[in-house]
Amino acid sequence: VYLLFQALRQISQRTISTASRRQFENRISENQKLFQEDNGLPVHLKGGAKDSLLYRTTTGLTVCGAIYAFYYLLVSSMPKKPN
Query: For 4-41, what is each residue's pLDDT tens digit?
Result: 878 878 777 766 555 555 555 677 888 888 888 888 88
CA 31 to CA 37: how far, in whole Å?
10
Question: Tell me, what's the pLDDT at 8?
Answer: 79
Which carries the bigger pLDDT value, residue 57 or residue 79? 57
Q: Is pLDDT above 70 for 76?
A: yes
Q: What number of residues does the chain have?
A: 83
CA 55 to CA 59: how far, in whole Å?
6
- Domains (ranges, CATH) in the chain? 36-78 (4.10.91.10)
Percent of the chain with pLDDT over 70: 84
Q: Is pLDDT above 70 for 46?
A: yes
Model-wide pTM > 0.85 = no
